[in-house]
Structure 1
Amino acid sequence: MTILQNYKQNEYAQGLKNLLPTGFAWPKDEASLLNQIAQGFSYAFQDMDILSCETIDEVFPGTSTVLLPIWQKTLGICDAPTDIQEQRNQVVALLTATGAISNSYFINFAKQLGYTLTIIEYGGIISGIYRCGDSVGTCQDYSYEFDVTFVVHGTNDYTILQNTFAAILPPYVRIYYISDINS
């Protein structure tokens, strides 16, 4: 999938022969040595042309193939999915992540990775329920953490989502994953 139009091998060979001077010392017929040399060079020119036309596709991670491992290494992606499009989606999602801690942010981030997500939050100490002087803390006080359950709809395999979220979630969030295949 390239945006630019590239030249074919025979067009390069003809172009090279057109650059040669005219005369008996420069035969351009099919059996001549100069024609064979032009044909040989034209393969290299065609390869360079194809690669240069694909450069635009390669620098954008949503269409990259050859440079995709470099994008992944740059972003610190270790456990990449096997499907090339899922790898591209993961790279694009991480590059466009703005960083937030709202439900809608994580739902939209999961959607970029190809997952449908519902978030269940668990509350901590709520004003009005507890009164001053109540004993609410223990030696293992986890009030600095909060728990969230991600319900992943439609699939049992959400390892890409787990690996990607592990890199961007704050350390004080404890995540539980549940698969809901029926929805």
Structure 2
Amino acid sequence: MIRDAAAYCAQLAALLPGGPAWPREPGARLMALLRAWAEEFARLDERAADLIEEAFPDTTYEMLADWERVLGLPDPCSSAALTLSARRAECVRKLAYQAGQTPAFYIALAASIGFEVEIHEFDPDVDEFDASLTALIGGGAWRHVWRVHVLNAGNFTIFRAGDPAGQRLVEGDTAIDLECIFGAAKPAHTHVIFSYPET
């Protein structure tokens, strides 16, 4: 509970000894001194409450740069996080990150930065594929490949025929960050493919 200056002034006045040497009238100089102290105590009380907010990366404001420094941010995957909310989300993601290898882990990882995804692990015994690929797929070449289908990719552009040479196939900070984060989190022996909604 944050106390204001009036509450602190009342507390200080209640601590004074009795007698005419300790006047409590509003115009008394002693009360003016107590009001000055009370203003500072109330300011310190408010700043202590602010510190509680700063102790958590999802509510920090003044200490955001300190959180980022401690967590090693910005890193190559979070360089596009420029807004306050995006920077906070990156801090929370990095702080709470625990590695995993299941589809559920990657779905939760994507959700932590605002993406909804579906994970598909290729299985030659289940998936349908072109007969010309039987030797390649059946031989195990696709056993360590999996696909992330992004359901809410946001705004991005796709390379089209006639676009200038050197243009990226997929443009969009959010898409690139998601790919970077998954690339860093995936098992080293696997290869991940990304697909996005048709525009």
TM above 0.5: yes
Alignment coverage as a number of residue pairs: 166
Cα distance, 1:54–1:116 mapped onto 2, change above 3 Å: same
Give the aligned partner of residue 28 of structure 1. Answer: 24
Greater Cα shift, 87-96 or 170-179: 170-179
Cα distance, 1:69–1:173 mapped onto 2, change above 3 Å: farther
Q: Which runs of 5+ in 1 are unaligned?
A: 131-142
Give the aligned partner of residue 151 of structure 1. Answer: 149
Greater Cα shift, 86-95 or 166-175: 166-175
| Root mean square deviation of aligned Cα | 3.6
CA contact (8 A) 1:153 1:181 kept: no
Greater Cα shift, 51-60 or 104-113: 51-60
Structure-2 separation of matches of 1:25 and 1:162: 74
Give the aligned partner of residue 58 of structure 2. Answer: 62
Give the aligned partner of residue 112 of structure 1. Answer: 112
SS in 1 for 2:20: coil
Structure-2 separation of matches of 1:113 and 1:128: 33
SS in 2 for 1:98: coil
Amino-acid identity (%): 22
Aligned pair 1:168/2:185, yes or no?
Answer: yes
Structure-1 separation of matches of 2:53 and 2:111: 23
TM-score by length of 1: 0.68
Q: 1:50 is matched with which residue: 41, 46, 50?
A: 46
Q: 1:7 is matched with which residue: 3, 28, 33?
A: 3
CA contact (8 A) 2:183 2:192 kept: no
CA contact (8 A) 1:80 1:87 kept: no
CA contact (8 A) 1:118 1:150 kept: yes
Give the aligned partner of residue 180 of structure 1. Answer: 197
Structure-2 separation of matches of 1:83 and 1:25: 57
Cα distance, 1:62–1:169 mapped onto 2, change above 3 Å: same
**Amino acid in the other structure paired with 1:105:** F
Greater Cα shift, 43-52 or 83-92: 83-92
Q: Which runs of 5+ in 2 are unaligned?
A: 125-133, 156-171
Structure-2 separation of matches of 1:34 and 1:166: 67
TM-score by length of 2: 0.63
**Amino acid in the other structure paired with 1:96:** A
Q: 1:39 is matched with which residue: 35, 39, 58?
A: 35
SS in 2 for 1:180: coil
